[in-house]
């Protein structure tokens, strides 16, 4: 028993040693631009972890995580805009004057507080996710219908934010790279290096938190919801409550990821709520491996780094590569890369392509047993 436990645990330990070593070495090896990209991709990994929680462990495929991702970004950007507007006319962000406003809208006022902002980054998306989730789950909507509803909600929020020119600068979004924080420009190399370290620590903490969540009885209930929800309901559990909680957790994590991504990309806009971007989030988890957590991190970082490199060399080819990658995962690696390695992936590789693997027969097993007895 102990040997089996060690055999399962050692690959994960080695993988995390490699991940941590890469993070520690990155600032010394990568130029500022590449380090900034890695920080962004790690912030996207936080979103992917939340998707893995609701999809890989609970069976809820959400195509609307861009809503919560963008909300976290807007919360952080609003605080930074206000923090840098003291010397501007009327003490409000400059874009308001373009639309004839000379007073700050009321809902901006709380974002003068850094403490309120830190809480709102995860609480606002989490509460919204809980409200939307409860409305859906209590009506027992699941499967493809849940996915369609989340995507419809995404389109509603995208169009709403896109049209709010006077309140949040609409399609232009809110810039953060020229704002001030702790007396320094957010887009400066020193601040970006700090955000990289912060994002790296948050990714590890989120992974530890979710690992704790899924390894207990709560995690067993989530897997039961995924595998056989009617039986769980018959056993006396209320799946609606559990699904609402995990959807809220995933929404909060998306908000945190969105805030960290915004300060490292320099802008937040309704483009974070586009349908293709939310679908990409699902692809990261599918490629890395559903229900593995660490696969979500590797999938988000690896795919986005590949996208960056390919787009620099062949700008028009990435969509074809991404489509081919998703087809490969669906047909040959349905459990993702990490799941493939954890299972009998290397031995079943030929089987996926229709080449039957030679199997042992009972007569041969009997013959081997007789030879062992004779020896």
Q: How far is the CA of 116 from the CAs of 69, 112, 317, 337, in angstroms? A: 18, 8, 43, 40
For position 339, what pLDDT does the model report?
79
Q: Would you say residue 132 lies in a domain?
A: yes
Helical residues (DSSP H) of 177-317, grouped into ranges: 189-215, 217-234, 239-265, 275-288, 294-313
Which pTM was predicted? 0.88
Helix (H, G, I), strand (E, B) or coil at 94: coil
For position 367, what pLDDT does the model report?
46
Q: Would you say residue 286 lies in a domain?
A: no
Q: Would you say residue 15 lies in a domain?
A: no
Report residue 122 as tokens: 């995860």
Place of tokens 């020193």: 190
For position 252, what pLDDT does the model report?
97
Q: How many domains does the chain have?
A: 1
Q: Please, what is the Cα angle at 271 between 321 and 157, to 5 degrees?
A: 120
Q: Please, what is the Cα angle at 103 between 97 and 105, to 5 degrees?
A: 105
**Which residues, other chains included, contact 322 with Cβ-Cβ below 8 Å and sequence gap of 6+?**
280, 283, 303, 307
For position 58, what pLDDT does the model report?
95
Q: Would you say residue 374 lies in a domain?
A: no
Q: Would you say residue 316 lies in a domain?
A: no
CB 135 within 8 A of CB 47: no
Closest CA to 242 of 138, 322, 369: 138
**Which residues, other chains included, contact 31 with Cβ-Cβ below 8 Å and sequence gap of 6+?**
none
Q: pLDDT by residue for the chain (375 residues), tens digit each?
A: 434 444 556 777 888 888 888 888 888 888 888 999 999 999 999 999 999 999 999 999 999 999 999 999 999 999 999 988 877 777 788 888 888 888 888 999 999 999 999 999 999 999 999 999 999 999 989 889 999 999 999 999 999 999 888 899 989 999 998 888 888 899 899 999 999 999 999 999 999 999 999 998 999 999 999 999 999 999 889 999 999 999 999 999 999 999 999 999 999 999 999 999 999 999 999 999 899 999 999 999 999 999 998 888 887 888 888 888 888 887 877 888 887 777 666 566 556 555 655 554 444 544 444 554 454
Residues of the domain holding 157: 25-275
**Which residues, other chains included, contact 202 with Cβ-Cβ below 8 Å and sequence gap of 6+?**
46, 256, 260
The residues that bridge with 184 in the sheet, in sequence order, are: 181
From first CA to last CA, the distance across the chain in angstroms is 29
For position 4, what pLDDT does the model report?
43
Q: Would you say residue 139 lies in a domain?
A: yes
Q: Would you say residue 340 lies in a domain?
A: no
For position 93, what pLDDT does the model report?
87
Q: Would you say residue 346 lies in a domain?
A: no
Task: Round to whole Å and give the CA distance between 279 and 358.
Answer: 38
Give exposure, 18-36, as e/b (b: 16+ Cβ within 10 Å): ebeeebeebeeeeeeeebb
CB 188 within 8 A of CB 88: no
């Amino acid at each position: 028993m102990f040997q089996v436990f060690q055999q399962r645990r050692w690959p994960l330990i080695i993988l995390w040693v490699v991940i941590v070593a890469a993070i520690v070495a990155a600032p010394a090896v990568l130029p500022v631009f590449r380090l900034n990209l890695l920080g962004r991709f790690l912030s996207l990994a936080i979103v992917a972890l939340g998707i893995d929680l609701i999809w890989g462990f609970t069976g809820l495929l959400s195509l609307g995580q861009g809503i919560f991702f963008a909300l976290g970004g807007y919360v952080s950007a609003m605080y930074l805009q206000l923090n840098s507007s003291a010397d501007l006319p009327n003490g409000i962000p400059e874009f308001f004057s373009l639309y004839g406003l000379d007073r700050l809208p009321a809902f901006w006022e709380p974002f003068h507080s850094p403490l309120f902002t830190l809480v709102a980054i995860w609480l606002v998306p989490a509460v919204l996710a809980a409200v939307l989730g409860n409305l859906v789950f209590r009506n027992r909507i699941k499967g493809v219908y849940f996915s369609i509803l989340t995507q419809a909600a995404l389109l509603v929020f995208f169009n709403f934010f896109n049209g709010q020119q006077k309140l949040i600068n609409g399609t232009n979004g809110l810039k953060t790279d020229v704002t001030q924080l702790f007396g320094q420009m957010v887009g400066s190399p020193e601040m970006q290096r700090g955000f990289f370290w912060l994002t790296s620590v948050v990714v590890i903490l989120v992974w530890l938190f979710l690992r704790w969540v899924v390894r207990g009885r709560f995690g067993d209930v989530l897997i039961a919801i995924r595998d056989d929800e009617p039986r769980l309901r018959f056993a006396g559990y209320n799946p609606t409550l559990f699904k609402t909680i995990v959807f809220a957790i995933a929404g909060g994590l998306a908000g945190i990821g969105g805030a960290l991504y915004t300060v490292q990309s320099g802008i937040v806009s309704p483009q974070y709520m586009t349908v293709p971007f939310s679908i990409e989030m699902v692809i990261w988890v599918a490629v890395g491996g559903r229900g593995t957590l660490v696969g979500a991190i590797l999938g988000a970082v690896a795919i986005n780094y590949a996208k960056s490199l390919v787009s620099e060399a062949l700008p028009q080819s990435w969509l074809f590569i991404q489509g081919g990658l998703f087809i490969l995962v669906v047909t040959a690696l349905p459990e993702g890369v990490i799941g493939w390695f954890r299972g009998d992936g290397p031995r079943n590789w030929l089987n996926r392509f229709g080449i039957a693997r030679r199997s042992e027969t009972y007569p041969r097993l009997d013959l081997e047993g007789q030879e062992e007895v004779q020896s």
